[in-house]
Amino acid sequence: MSFDEIVEDVQRYVEYLRDEGVTRLNMSRQVLEHVENEQDIALELRAIAATIANCRKCPLHEKRTKTVPGQGCVKPDILFVGEAPGADEDQQGVAFVGAAGQLLTRMIEAMGYTREQVFIGNILKCRPPGNRTPLPDEMETCLPYLKAQIALLKPKVIITLGAVAARGLLNAQTGITRLRGRWMAFEGIDVMPTFHPAYLLRNESAKRPAWIDLQEVLKRLGKTPPPRK
Ligand code: SF4
């Protein structure tokens, strides 16, 4: 559940209690701390997004329409990391909304999650012109934003999508075909590299190994995938 959904839920509940004539509410300290903690993380994430929106640290700011900081749950089990926004993402300011994003949504749902229960972002927060591959110095310049997000989100597992994301986050120089399915680590967090959904759209045969990677992640999280519909 995203922070905004939590806020809406709490507001609805407070209105319901008011309608019922309840004027005083004793929330447990634990519940309050939980809400405060999530609020703090959401506020920090918004501050990072605001900094990104004004960032001019690399030339990619010149042609962007919108920055794409990433979005989702503030305390996720899983953080998905792609390489950079594409045309749809640049227009909407939201990560993974094009055709590849729709496949990512199906992958997330096959794992038993919703998009709102995970966090989705990229190494780069601005679109490279013509969707070209991000340059190493662009990734190095932008990476501190993702690192700051990871420090706040504290995901249990990071899934990198495609070779470029693995290179940007892990400095992995191996091709994705050899890299995928092998556990790695980023600052103490388990990382599973797998194929990028855009690659899966073009290569049907890669879907099976990608699903094996996602199942491996579920195993590490102590979960089983829901029955397929
Ligand atoms: S890609 Fe990253 S470093 Fe470059 S301008 Fe955008 S936010 Fe700043």
Q: pTM, whole model, 2 decimals?
A: 0.86
Is residue 119 one of the residues assigned to a domain?
yes
Beta strands across the sheet bearing 71-72: 71-72, 119-122, 78-82, 157-161, 189-194, 184-186
Is residue 173 one of the residues assigned to a domain?
yes
Task: State in Å: Cα 210 to ligand 1 middle.
Answer: 29
Confidence of residue 225 (pLDDT cuts 50, 70, 90): confident
Q: What is the DSSP letter of 146?
A: H
* Overall number of domains in the chain: 1
- The set of residues, in sequence order, having a beta carbon less than 8 Å from that of 210 and lying 6+ positions away, is 107, 180, 194, 195, 200
In the prediction, which pLDDT does 102 show?
A: 97
Give residue-wise pLDDT tens across range 173-217: 889 999 999 999 999 999 999 999 999 999 999 999 999 999 999
In the prediction, which pLDDT does 201 show?
A: 97
The span from the CA of 32 to the CA of 113, in Å, is: 25
Is residue 152 one of the residues assigned to a domain?
yes
CA nearest ligand 1 atom 6, residue: 126
The span from the CA of 165 to the CA of 83, in Å, is: 5
Predicted confidence (pLDDT) at residue 2 exceeds the cutoff of 80 = no
Is residue 229 one of the residues assigned to a domain?
no
pLDDT, mean of residues 13-37: 62
Task: State in Å: Cα 125 to ligand 1 middle.
Answer: 6
Is residue 213 one of the residues assigned to a domain?
yes
In the prediction, which pLDDT does 227 show?
A: 80
Q: What is the DSSP letter of 79?
A: E
- The set of residues, in sequence order, having a beta carbon less than 8 Å from that of 58 and lying 6+ positions away, is 126, 137, 138, 141, 142
Predicted confidence (pLDDT) at residue 224 exceeds the cutoff of 60 = yes
Pocket of ligand 1 (CB under 6 A): 52, 55-58, 60-61, 67, 124-126, 138, 141-142
- CATH number for position 216: 3.40.470.10
Is residue 11 one of the residues assigned to a domain?
yes
Ligand 1: which of 51, 63, 126 to mutate, most ligand atoms within 8 Å of CB? 126
Ligand 1: which of 55, 65, 68, 131 to mutate, most ligand atoms within 8 Å of CB? 55
Is residue 176 one of the residues assigned to a domain?
yes
Confidence of residue 36 (pLDDT cuts 50, 70, 90): confident
Task: State in Å: Cα 214 to ligand 1 middle.
Answer: 29
State the residue range of the domain holding 134: 3-220
The span from the CA of 152 to the CA of 47, in Å, is: 12
Is residue 227 one of the residues assigned to a domain?
no
The span from the CA of 157 to the CA of 188, in Å, is: 10
Residues facing residue 157 across a β-bridge: 78, 190
Task: State in Å: Cα 43 to ligand 1 middle.
Answer: 21
In the prediction, which pLDDT does 30 show?
A: 67
